[in-house]
Homo-oligomer: A and B are copies of this chain.
Amino acid sequence: MFRLYHWPLDPAGRLVRLVLAEKGEVFETILSPAWMPRPEVVAIAPGAVTPALIALEGPHPFAASGTRAICEHLEETRPAPALLPEDPCERAEARRLWAWVEAGMEEVTDTLLTERVMQWVRRDRQPDSEKLRRGVHALRGRLTFLNALAEQSGYLAGRQLSIADLAAAAHLSAYDYFGDVQWDAVPDLKAWYMRVKSRPSFRPLLTDRLEAARPSPHYADLDF
């Protein structure tokens, strides 16, 4: 049994929720927005941020912050079902793409997603149109790359679902909440997303609703 500190539309928290669910782990969630983190998160380590995971039972208290620390721990301690391929080359490729998604999508999250959150959730200010424009442009480039991978072999890092798929879907699902993913331009990626979105692990993400903003009409639609 775990406790996860997260904010529902944060792509990093979404990845951890997907990995926990794929591994069949039971967990409760506690809201901890980046702009108002819970003291339990801050207490984990200097500079710790969400997503943060705490084990509620077991002889040794486990606490970790960040997707790399949390997901590698879950893969090491709960190897079945595997979310990294066994073959060393494919395993390296899944980790390369996972890292690519996190580094490459950061620009999109920092511009497009952050501006949407400012606009609808925090209602701090009108969105910065220059940032939105940069975010849309950056996202388009990332989608083209991911579409080419999905076309090649069905999943991003080969023929099986891996943490690279979950990381990419976690990010895209957050942008999709605000209707910012132009799926029709990337048909192979759209087919891939329909498959990933249909997994039981994805269901809780699709029922997320922010009080301040309704999701785009196709957000929870499995056949969009």
Chain A residues proximal to chain B, CB less than 8 Å: 45-48, 60-70, 72-73, 77, 87-89, 91-93, 95-96, 98-100, 103, 106, 145, 148-149, 152
What are 18 A-B contacts with C-beta separation under 8 Å? A45-B96, A46-B149, A48-B96, A60-B87, A61-B89, A62-B89, A64-B89, A65-B92, A66-B95, A66-B96, A66-B99, A67-B99, A68-B68, A68-B96, A69-B92, A73-B88, A73-B91, A103-B106
Q: Are A92 and B106 in contact, with the CB atoms below 8 A?
A: no
CB neighbours (8 Å) of A73 from chain B are 88, 91-92, 95
Copies in the complex: 2
| Shortest distance between the CB of A28 and any CB in chain B (Å) | 19
Name the contact of A66 in the complex, choosing from B65, B100, B152 (C-beta under 8 A): B100
Classify the secondary structure of A's interface with B. helix
In Å, the complex CA distance between A149 and B48 comes to 13
